Each structure stands twice: as C-alpha cells, then as structure tokens.
A and B are shown apart, each in its own frame.
Chain A
Amino acid sequence: MSLLGYVFMQRALIAGTLIGATAGAIGVYVVLRGFSFIGAGIAHAAFGGVAIALLLGIEPLWGALAFSLAVAWAIAYTSRRAAIKEEVAVGILFAASMALGIFLLSFVPGYRADLFGYLFGNILSVSSHDLLVSFVLAGLVFTAVAVLYKEFLFITFDPGMAEVSGFPVGVLQGLLLSLVALTVVLSLRVVGAVLVAALLVIPAATAYQLVQDFHRLLFLSALLGIAEVVGGLIISFYLDTPSGPTIVLLSAALFALVMFLRKRSP
C-alpha cells in the first residue's frame, strides 16, 4: 500500500507542511536575532506543559500552549530588565521545565510509551483534532507575520531605533516569541520537544546561505522547511524511524550540502 493510502500518513503530511512552513518562516527571525537557544528553551517548557496536562487529564496541547507562551513572555520580560541576562533566564527555565516534565510524568501511570513520542515525534500520533489545531496555529502565525511584517523586521534589525520611533518594542518582542511558542506547539507531535528547536534554525540557516534579501529569505526558508519536514516524514515512514530525528538529520544534511557547494563555487 502506498504511503498516501494511510490516513495517519495523510494527516502527518498535511501537518508536516504546516510545520515546515511556519518553522521555516519564524526561524528566519530566530536565526537573525541570534536567539537559537530561545527556541530550545520554549520547546522544553512546552514539554513541561505536556506533562502537567497528562497528569491533570486535559488535552496535552493546551498544557504545551500555556507553558510555552508563559515562557515566551517571561523571556521577553527578563530581556527588557537588565538584572539577569536573557540567556541565563532561558537556561534556568529550560532545564527546570524539562525536569518538571520528567518528574511529573513519573506519577502518570501508563503514559511512558507516549512520552517518547512527545520527546522525539511520532507520525502515528497526529489525530484529526490535532490537524485542526495545527491549521488554527499556523493560520495565527502567518496572519501575525503578514500584519506585523514591518514591525517584526524593525525590532529584529534594530530594536533601539524601533523604540526611538515609538514602537512598543517589548510587546512586539513578546508577540514574536509567542509565534515561536505557537510554532513549537504546532510541531510537538511530529518533531518532538527535543528537536523542534533545530527546525527553527536549520531551514533558515540554509536559506541564509542562498539568498541575501529578507523577503526572499522568508519564502525560501519556509519552502525548505516544508521540503525537509515532508521529506523526513516520508523517509521515516519507509525506514520505520522516529520522525523527529529523521527530519532533523535530513535538514542538517541539506545544510551541510549547501555549505559545501557554496564554498566550492566562487
């Protein structure tokens, strides 16, 4: 039976397309701001949220959403106060949420198998309900990027000047990090909490080597994201490997290939 014959695979591929496009586009901001680590921090916080949701018996995605949004705004807030450095705040939240997640999950009977899926992704796990949520989250992310295109570009390139020009830089930064959070939650089922940060970095870093115009960079990164997630899903289907690592390895290989070819061409 061909891969599209399976309903779970159809759902995974649709979700994968949404994930690739959003992670690719949002990844451009993550890479240009140089805050790759923040993606990892938010992803691990999301995992803590999943654990609490499982313990309370509510939908895991809601737990992930609440936790990752809370961490996104906490980072935006601490980065505006000079008392603690951004990376330090992320470093603490990141480890604490992950630890909390594992700690709490040890109290949840029968969910151990599923745990692996939340950490490394599982293509079997995308329900039709998840798919609906994915559409809503991806829609929110793209609407925000389209409406606040100029603002996000401004605070990424030159936050100081954005502030001088009267833009609410703190709120915009919180919103941009919220989009990172939404992307993480959207990707959680398929890519897993451990590896989602890679998806926020690799497609954008690959595209950055190929184009030098911000607008094109957004599009190319989104396209690369789709190609890498969908390609990785197909490979993981045939090799029967966890989807997250397969996607990330494919992305990393493509990044290395582009870097190698660019070095050789003048």
Chain B
Amino acid sequence: MKPVVELVDVWVELGGHTVLEAITMRVEEGEFVSVVGPNGAGKTTLLKVILGLVAPQRGEVRVFGRPPRDLGRDRARIGYVPQVEEIDLRFPLRVIDVVLMGRYGILGLGRRPRREDRRAALEALELVGIRELAGKLIGELSGGQRQRAFLARALAAKPKLLLLDEPTTGVDPAASESFYELLRKIQEEDVTILMVTHDVGVVSRYVDKVACINRRLVVHGRPEEVVTSEALAEMYGCAALFFHHGRIPHMVVRPHTDFREEGK
C-alpha cells in the first residue's frame, strides 16, 4: 500500500507555543483514520499542516508523495470539511451554490462554473442523500443536513483524500452515526479519510485506525489496540475524554484489562 499522507518528525510552533511535537505518522491509501485528543491538542493544526496552510518548523510532510505546497493542480484531490463554526450560516446562499464551491479549486482563478460543474455538485448531493435540498438556503438546514452539504462540497471535486475537522459537532447522535456510515460508503470508493473528532467511542466502530494526539502522537493503531493501550492510560487528556464521553468507559477505567481476551 502507498502512503497518501506521510509525516516525519513534524514540529509546529505557533505564537511561541509548541503545538505539535515530533509527529511521525502515515495514512495508507484507502484507510479511514480518526484523530482524537483533548481540546488544544493540535488536531486542527495537524490538518492544516497536511493542507499546507501551516508550515512546520521541522520535519517533512508529504501528501500524495509531495510537499503539500507543491501539489499544484493535485491540490484539488484533497477534499476538506472545515469546522462549521467558522461559517456564517445567515449568508444568503443556496445549498447547490455552496456545493459548487467545491469545484472552484479545479476551475481556478477567473473561470466560471459550467454545466459539468453543476452536474458534479448535484451528484455529490445525491451521494450524501440530500439532493432534494439543493435549492434550500444553507441556513435552513438542520445540523445533520448541513454537515452533509459541506461533505458534498468536499466531494464535488471527486477527491482521493478527504480531511474532516470535527464534522459531527452539534449534530445529534443518530445523525452522527449515519454520517459515519456514509463516510464508510465513501471510503469504499477508494477515498482515504482522515477525520478529527471528539467522538472517540462511537467512531472506533467505523474507522480502521485511531491516532491519539496530545501535542505528541500518543498512539496510532487499530481502534481495539488504542482503547486498551497503556499509553492511552498514561495520556490523561485522552483518558479524560473517555471518562466524559464514556460510550465504552469500561475499557479505559481499567486499562490493564486485556480487551482481546475479554472479547473472545
């Protein structure tokens, strides 16, 4: 398998603080990886490093085998779903117009969207199951529907790598679960997915790997390895998350219990 994202000893300092420390990790082609960790652990910064928006002080970053800043036209092969709080929901735009923005990167400067862009936008809406909402205003959608609209925007350019930042914040649990199901469906179309989330418990049922970050990469492995690892118990940021969001709290409260034994 080829690595789609590769970080080697990445250090990031922002405003005098070390935000990421010696991060080394790989995301293989076709994997679905979630990045978990407490607030301020550097999860969003990690995505920004992969997107080339933040340049690390030290270390190497490669996306599709190249530094993110040198991606050129291949930049459009990265789909990104940002945190919704950054967006003004009273903005007078229809869902279709928002999804169409996912094509802007391919179009580049000065070129208007054409019929094929509109078709791609509608297909993306179809894929996430809200095509009938194309003509609604973005502010009229429910939390779950809006999340699907932003996912559709990221998918409109038919990306090979999908990055999501806390996509289920403010979305109810049932809608979150069906959102993860949807991501699994997208993964099957050969899309590599890296998702930052708070939702440690539920998400581990859907992803191939969990990366636990608290400035450093604490653990990175299959979900059942991560939630039972000693490293996680050491890393109290992550453990605290388990306690509070505790959908599978017994695994963390007694981290020395061998989960694999128990599961048999």
Contact: B91 with A148, CB < 8 Å?
no
- In whole Å, how far is B142's beta carbon from the nearest beta carbon of chain A? 18
New A-B contacts (19) at CB < 8 Å, excluding given A34-B88, A162-B104, A214-B92: A82-B15, A148-B110, A149-B112, A150-B107, A150-B113, A160-B86, A161-B153, A164-B51, A164-B75, A164-B78, A164-B105, A165-B76, A167-B104, A168-B109, A211-B92, A213-B92, A213-B94, A214-B91, A217-B92
The answer, among A151, A163, A214, for a CB contact under 8 Å with B109, is A151
The answer, among A160, A165, A217, for a CB contact under 8 Å with B75, is A165
Known: A166-B75, A212-B137. Contact between A157 and B93, CB under 8 A? yes
Interface majority SS on A: helix, strand, loop or mixed? helix
A interface residues (Cβ-Cβ under 8 A, vs B): 32, 34, 82, 147-151, 154, 157-158, 160-168, 208, 211-214, 217
Contact: B112 with A214, CB < 8 Å?
no
Contact: B80 with A157, CB < 8 Å?
no
Contact: B80 with A164, CB < 8 Å?
yes
User: What residue in chain A is nearest B94 (Cβ atoms)?
Assistant: A213
The answer, among A32, A147, A151, A163, for a CB contact under 8 Å with B91, is A32
Considering the complex, which residues of chain B in the window 198-246 have a beta carbon less than 8 Å from any beta carbon of chain A? none
Contact: B86 with A165, CB < 8 Å?
no
Top 8 A-B residue pairs of the complex, sorted by shortest distance between their CB atoms? A165-B105, A212-B92, A166-B75, A164-B80, A214-B92, A164-B51, A157-B91, A165-B104
The answer, among A32, A154, A208, for a CB contact under 8 Å with B104, is A154
How far is B53's CA from A151's CA once the two chains are assembled, in angstroms? 19
User: Could you jot down 29 A-B contacts, CB within 8 Å?
Assistant: A32-B92, A34-B88, A150-B107, A150-B112, A150-B113, A151-B110, A154-B104, A157-B88, A158-B86, A160-B82, A161-B80, A161-B101, A161-B153, A163-B53, A164-B53, A165-B75, A165-B76, A165-B101, A165-B105, A166-B76, A166-B105, A166-B108, A167-B109, A208-B92, A212-B92, A213-B92, A213-B93, A214-B97, A217-B92
User: What residue in chain A is nearest B98 (Cβ atoms)?
Assistant: A157
Contact: A157 with B101, CB < 8 Å?
yes
Chain B 24-43 against A: per-residue CB contact (8 Å), 1 yes, 0 no? 00000000000000000000
Question: Quick check: is B1 within 8 A (CB to CB) of the other chain?
Answer: no
Contact: A158 with B92, CB < 8 Å?
no
Residues of chain A within 8 A (CB-CB) of B113 are: 150
Residues of chain A within 8 A (CB-CB) of B110 are: 147-148, 151
Residues of chain A within 8 A (CB-CB) of B104 are: 150, 154, 162, 165, 167
Chain B 45-77 against A: per-residue CB contact (8 Å), 1 yes, 0 no? 000000101000000000000000000000110
Contact: B97 with A158, CB < 8 Å?
no
How far is B86's CA from A158's CA once the two chains are assembled, in angstroms? 8
